Copies of this chain bind each other. A is one copy, B any other.
């Protein structure tokens, strides 16, 4: 059974802290193995990638067959049902529209001292997206990673996706095509991350790597960080639903289960100001768990990490949610906008009874790659910003340097950085001479 807590219980605070700090994932320590794989790929390039793919994915590749050809992609895309294609196209269009609005603006202005300062944004040259194979090979994640990169203006965009035994999900290739991906490689694991970070004879290196993966992929991303940029290392999915009693318990139960079915380490929490409603939702979850396809996974998640928390009122619910800083937050209440004003930490907020979190996974527009494990306290979901970087700009006129240069010189001297001070001083001296002549 999931945890049932009430904020009026004597032991509530301790129980809530236990819930907050429960370790849900025991990632195996594969770091040494991953270090070996990366070294091997750096050393032997294509040959290492081909051998490791034969070993882990039971697939014999050559440098020529590492990437899908256009004809192969055409053939796979042709297998997709029209309704699936239309749904994917709608999702792509909405994600593109949303992320286009995220593009930040350049700025440059002249201040009172006469200095021109500002910044400008530019895309990374090349990005690589990791797409897991098998069960967790989600075409929606291809859209969510690739479209922000293209919107940002990334010049070259590649995917690495393992195809164990040669099996591929046609929807993944269609999503890649709809997103404008240039090349899709049939490789996975730490070897794919190493190849994208360091390059091989066949695979050109990229500047940024994003996308989810297993423990090997996560460890490899940590190791190549610095050589290339990476996105976050995502943990198991989470949802927190704040719901009043005027919801259909079955709707809320399904919302909770839509995270639970991802992974047995996922976490679903209901916070409600009505104890009877909380019980009704828990009963509805049990009923749905009798028939759900993924009932083993969802049931293990709900029993292991699920929780129903009863609060005195909705303000208290918001305060608890902020301590959780959930990846996904649904506000199923009469005035969700008012409640949202009280939310300080959440990856994504879904407002009102007609906004199930699953909308955000596919077609809402916002990104579904979001901060997990309470990291919404300090980090954001994936966006165009992940594929852009900012260059700051400064341009002094002689007058501006005369106005602010002496302060720079003074501070340089106070920090014992003589050359810093002199680099300003020689220019100020020239200005003084110019004035005299």
Which residues of A does B touch, CB under 8 Å?
A: 83-84, 86-88, 90-91, 94, 97-98, 101-102, 104, 107, 109, 111, 113, 115-117, 119, 122, 124-125, 135, 138-140, 171, 207-208, 226, 228-229, 233, 248, 250-251, 254-255, 257-258, 260-262, 288, 292-294, 298, 336-337, 340, 343-367, 370-371, 373, 375-381, 383, 385, 389-398, 400-401, 404-408, 410-412, 414-424, 426-427, 430
* Complex contact B117–A364 (CB within 8 A): yes
* Complex contact B208–A378 (CB within 8 A): yes
Expressed in whole angstroms, the Cα–Cα distance for A88 and B138 within the complex equals 53
Asked if A139 meets B84 with Cβ closer than 8 Å, knowing A107-B101, A396-B355, A405-B359, the reply is no
- Please, which residues of chain B bring their CB within 8 A of the CB of A262? 417
Nearest chain B CB to A405 CB, angstrom units:
7
Between A and B, 30 residue pairs with Cβ closer than 8 Å are A87-B414, A90-B404, A94-B113, A101-B107, A101-B109, A124-B377, A139-B415, A140-B411, A226-B375, A228-B378, A229-B377, A254-B426, A258-B423, A262-B417, A292-B419, A293-B418, A294-B416, A336-B395, A340-B393, A349-B394, A351-B395, A356-B423, A356-B427, A357-B423, A358-B420, A358-B423, A361-B408, A362-B407, A362-B412, A363-B408
With a 10 A CB-CB cut-off, give which of A84, A87, A391 has the most chain B CB atoms: A391
* Complex contact A117–B422 (CB within 8 A): no
* Complex contact A377–B125 (CB within 8 A): yes
Asked if A418 meets B380 with Cβ closer than 8 Å, knowing A396-B352, A427-B356, the reply is no
* Complex contact B229–A233 (CB within 8 A): no
- Please, which residues of chain B bring their CB within 8 A of the CB of A371? 389
* Complex contact A364–B414 (CB within 8 A): no
